[in-house]
């Protein structure tokens, strides 16, 4: 079972990190891999706290997956697929020919009200 998990989640996540210019080894470190994922999609690092809140974490996962899909030029439907069926969609993104386009979320200017 562990081998299946490694092959179908960690290795594709490693490939996604490398495509985005991040170290691939970050995919095997719990919590840090989520921080790196938030950096890839352009979300603030403090969102890691939202993953600890029941029910909110489900919504945050869907949002981050949609942002990840958009960061690679895919549409929102692909992002929902990443959230609902990651065992299929993460390998497609990791081993596919899609290129990282940069964070899908642009940082907001903190000086505006």
Average pLDDT, the chain: 91
What is residue 28's three-state secondary structure? helix
Range list of H helices, 1-113: 2-5, 11-19, 32-41, 56-71, 76-84, 86-95
CA distance 41 to 48: 13
| Each residue's pLDDT tens digit, 54-86 | 999 999 999 999 999 999 999 999 999 999 999
Q: What is the pLDDT of residue 104?
A: 87
pLDDT in tens, 23-46: 999 999 999 999 999 999 999 999
Tokens encoding 76:
């929102």
């Amino acid at each position: 079972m562990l081998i299946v998990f490694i092959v179908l989640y960690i290795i594709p996540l490693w490939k996604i990190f490398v495509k985005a210019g991040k170290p691939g080894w970050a995919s095997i470190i719990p919590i840090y891999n989520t921080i790196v994922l938030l950096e890839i999609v352009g979300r603030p690092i403090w969102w890691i706290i939202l993953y600890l809140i029941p029910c909110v974490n489900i919504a945050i996962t869907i949002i981050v997956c949609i942002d990840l899909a958009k960061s690679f030029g895919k549409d929102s439907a692909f992002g929902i697929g990443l959230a609902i069926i990651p065992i299929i969609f993460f390998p497609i993104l990791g081993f596919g020919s899609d290129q990282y386009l940069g964070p899908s979320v642009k940082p907001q200017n903190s000086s505006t009200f």
